[in-house]
Chain A
Amino acid sequence: MGVRLEGTLARGGFRAELAVEVGDGEVLGVLGPNGAGKSTLLRTMAGLLPLAVGSLRLGDRVLDDPARGTFRQPEERPVGLVFQDYRLFPHLDVLDNVAFAARCRGLSRRESRSRAAGWLDRLGLADLAERRPHEVSGGQAQRVALARALARDPELLLLDEPLAALDTRTRLEVRTELRRHLADFAGPTVLVTHDPLEAMVMTDRLLVLEGGRVVQDAAPAEVARRPATPFVARLVGLNLYAGELERGTSTVRLDDGGTLVASTEAGTAGRVLVGLRPSAITLHATRPDRASTRNAWPGTVTGLELLGDRVRVQVGGAPPALVDVTPGAVAELGIEPGMPVWLTAKATETDAYPDVVTLPT
């Protein structure tokens, strides 16, 4: 059961080679930079774009299979899609927007409206029934769009950056609520996002897309801990280095210069990625005592940024690193751009894992 897509997606000159499977009740997050193919994936699943090659199945039904000449039109697919810009019909009030799917199925106006009213109740929108879309707030419009998609009784739910159009405060509120509704949904859900927090909090599994390829497919915690590409590492705020593990040792020779002694799982060899949390690195004004840590290297401070109660220090060197320190440490050490420093990191905090992705550069 669930949804299964395997094949080539094409949109204009863009092509993506993907294999995606989402089980019933599972929420798959799709994370990736702009142009990675996230929206193309959703549009293909919804039937707004045909597959170039391959097949798309929902349950035991084939929705799209160009080789067999099968293509179900979007209106023939039991798929609910929540667009990023919601696309609520401006000429209909909230109730009739949510009643739209039932009307299309041939139910009477009365019956459709009474069902729609049920959905509005469930999503706490009953008071807005008679408002037009331009008369509701962004967070409310998001919920109306969700209600409208759910009112179709979809077997597959697709959400395209559902919170991107909201301001930060509303986003927090809606996120919690949306998560609850997604948990209630019995079928597979695909949620496209570029917000790492959204991806971590709302999904069961993360698919990282880059340049039309799946570069990582893992649990959110795993993606955060061991990102497969610099893009994801940047999103989750991790220092990530690619390099070669020297045979028989735990020393990694980094591609961009420098070496790190890392902890590895048994059997790891060859190309590796090394993840290092900014808070696991310590800054020193002078060369530290060599005995205490395995990794120590010199660098130069290139920038400072205040992040809540921490200061993120950018340090150039081999390798360069982001380091989180307390404001007190900044004052104590007198850290400022241009200052030479020493960095240390414990080998136990330095995690090396196999590099399975080789991105074309």
Chain B
Amino acid sequence: MTGAVPAGPGTRPEVRPRIRRRTPWPLAAPTVLGLALLVLPLVALLVRSPWRTLPHVLAQSTVLDALRLSLVCATIATGLALVLGVPLAWVLARSEARGVRLLRSVVTLPLVLPPVVGGVALLFAFGRTGIVGRWLDDWLGVTIPFTTAAVVLAETFVAMPFLVITVEGAFRTADQGYDEAAATLGASRLTVFRRVTLPLVRPSLGAGAVLCWARALGEFGATITFAGNLPGVTQTMPLAVYLAMQTDPAAATALSLVLLLVSVLVLVGLRDRWLSAGAR
């Protein structure tokens, strides 16, 4: 053995012998078709975009208004979902009270409910003649429907369950041994929640918030039913896209591109830190 120099790590790229095995066609064909179904529309959007007039279209005040409204409302809705949804998720995960399972189903209902139905339901609750809205109108003179507040409410209604189920799962799988350890060190339940439980589920909190924000940003059905389509007040990007399709397809494409860009940014943000950590 004359030339037997031990190859340390890094001295030579590791070559791993691989056996190439074909994917059987009953699996390969649907894979290709499925991918095409997902990717083709996006490609078409890119191909047909009016790139030259894009800056002009995007500079229109209605577009900027819609974009700003969308971002602001989605962010407020996410904030609201965090403030209300995280404690809710904790109770769902940790409470031993009866009826919690039923509560969990109620919370996740908006996930499967057609958003338009959600919008109608919101009208019956907070509309001028709704069961709560009537009192708000009579006593406080507050009217919610067809205002920006209605947009936020509709988005929160639809998007909060995404946050709740993500965070609830994390609370449930988080090692309660740490909670016990904290309690033996003198931490009250609230302190345990603040200083131990919440930091431990932070990755899932981030993932849940991003999912919630993205869902709120794309909200259409509940918003148009409950908040209407008033430019500058309740007309968010998805509504603007829909309206533009009727009159100015080029503008619709431009708006869609912006939303696509935002989605891609969300994915990039989620990719390393949150998706991988949240899935653990």
**A contacts, CB < 8 Å to B:** 46-48, 73-75, 77, 79-81, 83, 85, 87, 89-91, 100-101, 103-105, 148-149, 152
Residue in contact with B184 in the complex, picked from A74, A89, A90, CB distance below 8 Å: A74
Residue in contact with A152 in the complex, picked from B186, B188, B195, B200, CB distance below 8 Å: B186
Determine how close the nearest CB of chain A comes to the CB of B192; give it in whole angstroms: 8
- Which chain A residues border B183 with CB–CB below 8 Å? 47-48, 73-75
Contact A75 B178 (CB under 8 A): no
Contact A100 B184 (CB under 8 A): no
Determine how close the nearest CB of chain A comes to the CB of B198; give it in whole angstroms: 10
Residue in contact with A100 in the complex, picked from B177, B182, B202, CB distance below 8 Å: B182
Q: How far is the CA of A73 from the CA of B192 in the complex (A)?
A: 13
Contact B186 A104 (CB under 8 A): yes
The answer to whether B113 has its CB under 8 Å from any CB of chain A is no
Q: How far is the CA of A105 from the CA of B185 in the complex (A)?
A: 9
User: Given A101-B186, A103-B195, A104-B185, are A90 and B180 also a contact pair (CB < 8 Å)?
Assistant: no
Q: Which residue of A lies closest to B181 (CB)?
A: A87
Q: How far is the CA of A81 from the CA of B180 in the complex (A)?
A: 10
Interface size class of B (residues with CB under 8 A): 10 to 19
- Which chain B residues border A83 with CB–CB below 8 Å? 177, 180-181
Residue in contact with A104 in the complex, picked from B178, B187, B200, B202, CB distance below 8 Å: B187
Q: How far is the CA of A52 from the CA of B187 in the complex (A)?
A: 24
- Which chain B residues border A75 with CB–CB below 8 Å? 183-188, 191
User: Given A83-B181, A103-B195, are A90 and B187 also a contact pair (CB < 8 Å)?
Assistant: no
- Which chain B residues border A91 with CB–CB below 8 Å? 199-200, 202
Residue in contact with B185 in the complex, picked from A47, A48, A73, A152, CB distance below 8 Å: A152
Determine how close the nearest CB of chain A comes to the CB of B176; give it in whole angstroms: 10
Residue in contact with B178 in the complex, picked from A47, A89, A103, CB distance below 8 Å: A89
Residue from A81, A85, A90, A104 having most chain B Cβ neighbours under 10 A: A104
The answer to whether B233 has its CB under 8 Å from any CB of chain A is no
- Which chain A residues border B184 with CB–CB below 8 Å? 46-48, 74-75, 77, 79-81, 149, 152
Q: Which residue of A lies closest to B191 (CB)?
A: A104
- Which chain B residues border A100 with CB–CB below 8 Å? 182, 185, 187, 195
Contact B177 A89 (CB under 8 A): no
